[in-house]
Amino acid sequence: MLDKKPFLRIWSLEDWEEIKALKHPAAVRDFSADPSGKLLLTIGNDKTLRAWDLAKGREAFTKSFRDQPERVLWGPDGRRYALQLTAGICQIQTLEESKEKVQIESKDRIMDIKFFRFFNLLFKVLTLNGISTKENLVLRVKI
């Protein structure tokens, strides 16, 4: 009998052998590894954010949401991450507290998020004013 649950599969870049297969309760929508490579954040189709301890090969914690999160991205310092909750809402959170530190809201759809220089965030926002145009919104966020 086949197992219907998805797996996170981790391979060695040296010889391409599978190192770990972590069972994930739902299909994975997005993921981001911290800069050290020891932790992984995943967003599942079950409206959850999961943190994985890759050194121990197990789930560290799960956080559930009312709406389906869309995107997750670790910051360059490994202490905070961006979590896009809806088309126009993004939160900056810390793993230690696993709670919102800053919430950014846009009336337009957030298309992409990038961290650069520890406290700056770049958002690509799609606006629909008759025709599609892209705008960049740079925010300085001090957490």
Range list of H helices, 35-135: none
Report, as an integer, the average pLDDT of 97-110.
Answer: 75
Measuring CA to CA, which residue among 93, 52, 88, 95 is closest to residue 70? 88
Q: Each residue of 27-47: pLDDT tens digit? A: 899 999 999 989 999 999 999
Residue type, 141: V
User: What pLDDT, on a 0 to 100 scale, did the predictor assign at position 99?
Assistant: 61
User: What pLDDT, on a 0 to 100 scale, did the predictor assign at position 5?
Assistant: 66
Report, as an integer, the average pLDDT of 78-98.
Answer: 84
Buried/exposed code over 90-105 (b: 16+ C-beta within 10 A; e: otherwise):
bbbbebeeeeeeeebe
Rounded to two decimals, the pTM is 0.77
User: What pLDDT, on a 0 to 100 scale, did the predictor assign at position 104?
Assistant: 82
